[in-house]
Amino acid sequence: MNDSVREVNIGLLGCGTIGSGVFHLLRKNAAELTEAAGRPLSLAHILVKELEEPRPFLVDRTRMTTNAREALNDPEIDLYIEVMGGLEPARSYALEVLGRGKSLVTSNKELVAHHGRELMEAAAATGATVRFEAAVGGGVPLIRPMEESLGGDVIQKVMGIVNGTTNYVLWRMSSEGGTYSEALTEAKKLGYAEADPTADVSGNDAASKLAILCSIAFKAGYTSEQVYREGIQKVRPEDIENARELGYAVKLLAVAGRADGGVYARVHPTMIPLEHPLASISGNFNSIFVIGESVGDLMFYGQGAGSLPTATAILGDVVNVVRNLGRPPVSKRSYWSRPGELIPMDDVKTRFYTVLKVVDRPGVLAQIAGIFGENEVSLESVVQKGIGDSAQIVLITHEVSEKNFRAAREGLQRLEVVQEIPSVIRVEEGA
Amino acid sequence: MNDSVREVNIGLLGCGTIGSGVFHLLRKNAAELTEAAGRPLSLAHILVKELEEPRPFLVDRTRMTTNAREALNDPEIDLYIEVMGGLEPARSYALEVLGRGKSLVTSNKELVAHHGRELMEAAAATGATVRFEAAVGGGVPLIRPMEESLGGDVIQKVMGIVNGTTNYVLWRMSSEGGTYSEALTEAKKLGYAEADPTADVSGNDAASKLAILCSIAFKAGYTSEQVYREGIQKVRPEDIENARELGYAVKLLAVAGRADGGVYARVHPTMIPLEHPLASISGNFNSIFVIGESVGDLMFYGQGAGSLPTATAILGDVVNVVRNLGRPPVSKRSYWSRPGELIPMDDVKTRFYTVLKVVDRPGVLAQIAGIFGENEVSLESVVQKGIGDSAQIVLITHEVSEKNFRAAREGLQRLEVVQEIPSVIRVEEGA
């Protein structure tokens, strides 16, 4: 049989929201996929936890199995798609099929962010390939452009909105008003937030994605745990209003870049200038800014989640793997074995927006300015808002190390005239 | 000698702004490029018109030649980069090297937009590859993501800012005020417009790029001449102001999509809602919106021109070609041989913003509305601005065919109460 036109047999591991989208598109766009991949694609096995699970798209029951061995041991399978999510058994299955020389396409960000090194080494050992376009930015083509189109450039910084839930919440607080809780309730209603939204609102999901972006951009193996993170739970409507008055939008950004000979990586609520392209990203969209030394500013925008956008990214990877079946892999990503080091958060420099509730009497500002001065924090702007019992000072610092800012903050908390520090948000200028 | 580590010999055809950027990056990022491509890259010949031409980056004279035969006939060359621009001799050289089985990376949009079919057929015949990421959107990764990452989707619409000169001019008119001529003068000063800016301001440059995008998105061979185009020369400061009041920005957009079983493609000044991501693209940036049936809205943003951004895109293509040297091409783009047909402009439906200078007396609006009605043009909004001698009517139509709108416009011009129609700009909603 002529191998170039033989059907490609695919094993689909997992069939929930994303997996059923993959099944749906494999059927609906069979002609386009065959043209793009050069060969017809066929799903040989679909490994599921439950045959009866509710799924957004109808899936052929005859290919389904709950028996992992049946799906994993079939020698006829050419490549696997893993969309189970979570670390185990995804990791064991992935290592098993890669060990047998089968290429793997995955949307599993935790898997790549925690076990990327193991996966790349297992693949390199057998000549298999791991692709994971869907793991960051959902349907947005990002990983492959960063790896391939920017192969001739040196990436300086990556800064993006990589979590649609938190962007929806902050965007709604900004456009409709209301509190964090109200916006989160609305996000759940619309299906943009899960019943338990912790992974999203805490910044954990974004931190996993940033670890993957760091590995690709800075050519070493970074893991999720290394990335500093802060969630959006404490962002107040007043902060969003203050930000706008100062010319900023508040976004949960994943930011990583080169500085002082090292690399920093952090996820936190961020004030970004209103005229920056990331400031106007609305709803549950994702958008990732990449700054290359030679190419300058690039931005990639689209749906970061959802069944069909994610399935589209997976199938783009599948097309790429099929086109290269039987060829040695174009890149072994051997850099992933070099542990990526990060600048300790203490030494990372950013600017800070801070709100202080203060006692309204003469000399207060002098005391506050004194504390900042002692800790080598210089101030860019200071505005008093409200008087009497509702007196507040809203300030933005110049660039300062985390360590110095924290010392200043502790000093302020000891001042009798400072009643509370309800808000601290980092500020980025975008370049 | 082990072929996998042998230097790759490259012939560089042309060495102006872009070519010298390619030379510069090949030196500066040699380590990154070797890692990405898997083999060291070396420039064997640099074909130039004049040895002494001024260039933004210093180029090694020892590799330069003004003798085309020397560069083209060297059997040691593995691949060619063509950055001469223009149709001839670029076309002849390209066909010659492809005919000999050498792959070609080009930034030449006219070449691909006019002779894409010939190039793809010549490459397919010998197993060579043509790559042209830099031809559209400069440094923005766009062609490869559309071809590969979206291989599993059906592209519905492409809409973008693909010319930095015109975006700068319109953006400056919008942000600083002033006329088209004033903004163009400023663009020339900053190096964003050429001494003769005709190709840019007329929409011709954008039309070539749109023809290429159409070929990729709609899988047939489209050529530059097929694309309808209108320049930005007639856009008035008043139009930009009116647009803003109505909630729109004015951009030169290249728009193509599927409608009524066919494909339309047009380049023209366009009013787009202020909240659309394309509305806020500032300065001389490019940004391309791609709507896929399954993936939804995607946007790609970055520097659409300039020596180093364009050179980065070229080297991304070079890395890809080198990784695949000696392998059969992954795609022959055989669809390019099928001539792409476009819906005749007469039948293309859009909305129109129109300004009428009118005689200010009762009954005028009735006459105007009558003409629109006769031609089956329905109106979405009508506003009278100014009174007496400066009376104007500003209106926006619902969707209407070009043919019907033109008939209405001719009818209006015959009305005694309509003194002039100073402005007609198409309106897009973005989806």
Task: Please name the helix (run of DSSP H) or strand (run of DSSP E) that holds residue B414, with its range, or none.
Answer: helix B402-414
Smallest CA-to-CA distance from A295 within B148, B21, B161 is with: B21
Q: How far apart are CA B355 and CA B385, in angstroms?
A: 10
Residue with tokens 């489209």: B222
Task: Please tell me whether residues B250 and B326 are part of one structural domain.
Answer: no
Rounded to the nearest angstrom, the minimum Cα separation between B409 and chain A is 37
Chain segment A332-363, per-residue pLDDT in tens: 899 999 999 999 999 999 999 999 999 998 88
| Secondary structure (DSSP) of B35-60 | HHHSS-EEEEEEE-S-TT---SS---
Rounded to the nearest angstrom, the minimum Cα separation between B314 and chain A is 9
Task: Please tell me whether residues B91 and B178 are part of one structural domain.
Answer: no
**Contact between A323 and B301 using a beta-carbon 8 Å cutoff:** no
Contacts A299 to B, Cβ<8 Å = 287, 299-302
The CATH number covering residue A352 comes to 3.30.70.260
Task: Please tell me whether residues B179 and B295 are part of one structural domain.
Answer: yes
Task: Please tell me whether residues A277 and A409 are part of one structural domain.
Answer: no
Chain segment A99-130, per-residue pLDDT in tens: 999 999 999 999 999 999 999 999 999 999 99
Band of residue A285 on the pLDDT scale cut at 50, 70, 90: very high
Determine what percent of chain A falls in helix, strand and coil, rounding each to the nearest 5.
40, 25, 35
Q: Count CB neighbours of B322 within 10 A.
A: 25
Contacts A144 to B, Cβ<8 Å = 144-145, 148-149
Q: Is the per-residue pLDDT at A375 higher than 80?
A: yes
Query: What's the CA angle centered on B415, arms B414 and B419, to 5 degrees?
Result: 95
Contacts B314 to A, Cβ<8 Å = 152
Q: How far apart are CA B289 and CA B431, in angstroms?
A: 10
| pLDDT at res. B353 | 97
Does a structural domain hold residue B293? yes
The rounded mean pLDDT for chain A is 94
> Please, are residues A173 and A180 in contact by the beta-carbon 8 Å criterion?
yes
Backbone phi, psi, residue A383, to 5°: -135, 130
Q: Is the per-residue pLDDT at A1 higher than 70?
A: no
Band of residue A326 on the pLDDT scale cut at 50, 70, 90: confident
Does a structural domain hold residue A312? yes
Q: Considering only alpha carbons, which residue of chain B is nearest residue A155?
A: B32
Backbone phi, psi, residue B242, to 5°: -55, -45
Task: Please tell me whether residues B48 and B110 are part of one structural domain.
Answer: yes
Does a structural domain hold residue B191? yes
Q: How far apart are CA A232 and CA A169, in angstroms?
A: 9
**Contact between A37 and B151 using a beta-carbon 8 Å cutoff:** yes
Task: Please tell me whether residues A267 and A193 are part of one structural domain.
Answer: yes
**Contact between B141 and A139 using a beta-carbon 8 Å cutoff:** no
Does a structural domain hold residue A343? no
From B148, B151, B275, residue closest to A282, measured CB to CB? B275
The size of chain B, in residues, is 431
Q: How far apart are CA B421 and CA B354, in angstroms?
A: 7
The pLDDT of A74-94, averaged and rounded, is 97
Does a structural domain hold residue A1? no
Chain segment A243-281, per-residue pLDDT in tens: 999 999 999 999 999 998 899 999 999 999 998 999 999
Segments forming the whole domain that contains residue B155? 143-302
Count helices and strands in chain A by DSSP H and E runs:
14, 17
Distances from the Cα of B165 to the Cα of B106, B173, B232, angstroms: 21, 12, 11
Q: Is the per-residue pLDDT at A408 higher than 80?
A: yes
Q: What ipTM does this complex have?
A: 0.93
Query: What's the CA angle centered on B50, arms B45 and B52, to 5 degrees?
Result: 100
| B66 HSE (CA, 13 A, CB side) | 5
**Contact between A311 and B323 using a beta-carbon 8 Å cutoff:** no
Q: Considering only alpha carbons, which residue of chain A is nearest residue B27?
A: A152
The pLDDT of A290-316, averaged and rounded, is 96
Does a structural domain hold residue B218? yes
Chain segment A20-38, per-residue pLDDT in tens: 999 999 999 999 999 889 8
Determine what percent of chain B falls in helix, strand and coil, rounding each to the nearest 5.
40, 25, 35
> Please, are residues A227 and A266 in contact by the beta-carbon 8 Å criterion?
yes
Chain segment A44-80, per-residue pLDDT in tens: 999 999 988 888 898 889 999 999 999 999 999 999 9
| pLDDT at res. A430 | 67
Distances from the Cα of B110 to the Cα of B88, B91, B107, B118, B317, angstroms: 10, 10, 9, 13, 18
Q: Which residues contact B417 (CB under 8 A, 6 or more apart)?
A: B358, B359, B361, B364, B367, B368
Q: How far apart are CA B95 and CA B120, in angstroms?
A: 10
From A33, A306, A327, residue closest to B151, measured CB to CB? A33
Tell me which residues of A are annotated as active site: 209
Smallest CA-to-CA distance from A240 within A138, A307, A320, A169 is with: A169
| CA A338 remoteness from chain centre | 22
Task: Please tell me whether residues B327 and B371 are part of one structural domain.
Answer: no
Q: How far apart are CA A366 and CA B399, in angstroms?
A: 63
Q: How far apart are CA B143 and CA B151, in angstroms?
A: 12
Task: Please tell me whether residues B219 and B295 are part of one structural domain.
Answer: yes
| pLDDT at res. B431 | 60
| pLDDT at res. B114 | 97
Task: Please tell me whether residues A220 and A359 are part of one structural domain.
Answer: no
Q: Is the per-residue pLDDT at A429 higher than 90?
A: no
| pLDDT at res. A260 | 86
Does a structural domain hold residue A342? no
Task: Please tell me whether residues A280 and A332 are part of one structural domain.
Answer: no
Task: Please tell me whether residues B184 and B90 are part of one structural domain.
Answer: no
- Residue that finishes a domain, picked among B337, B356, B390: B337
The CATH number covering residue B200 comes to 3.30.360.10
What's this model's pTM, rounded to 2 decimal places?
A: 0.94
What percentage of chain A carries pLDDT values higher than 90?
87
| pLDDT at res. B123 | 96
**Which is it for the CA torsion A185, A189, A193, A194, positive or negative?**
positive
Rounded to the nearest angstrom, the minimum Cα separation between A420 and chain B is 37
Contacts A320 to B, Cβ<8 Å = 148, 151
**Contact between A294 and B308 using a beta-carbon 8 Å cutoff:** yes
Pairing state of beta strands A248-259 and A155-161? antiparallel
Q: Spell out the alpha helix ranges (H) of B86-140.
A: 90-99, 109-126
Task: Please tell me whether residues A24 and A62 are part of one structural domain.
Answer: yes
What total of structural domains would you count in chain B?
3
Report A:205-244 residues touching B (Cβ under 8 A): 219
Report A:143-202 residues touching B (Cβ under 8 A): 144-145, 148-154
Q: Is A141 on the interface with B (CB under 8 A)?
A: yes
**Contact between B299 and A302 using a beta-carbon 8 Å cutoff:** yes
Band of residue A4 on the pLDDT scale cut at 50, 70, 90: low
| pLDDT at res. B4 | 54
- Interface probe with B: pick from A2, A285, A295, most Cβ of B within 10 Å: A295
Report A:249-308 residues touching B (Cβ under 8 A): 275, 277, 280-282, 285, 287, 292, 294-303, 306, 308
Does a structural domain hold residue A154? yes
The CATH number covering residue B18 comes to 3.40.50.720
Is omega for the bond preceding A422 within 30 degrees of 0, making it cis? Answer: no
Q: What is the largest CA-CA distance in chain A?
A: 89
Q: pLDDT averaged over consecutive 10-residue blocks of chain B (431 residues)?
A: 73 96 96 90 95 88 94 96 97 98 97 97 96 97 93 94 98 96 96 95 98 97 97 97 96 96 96 93 95 96 95 96 84 91 96 96 92 96 90 96 97 96 93 60
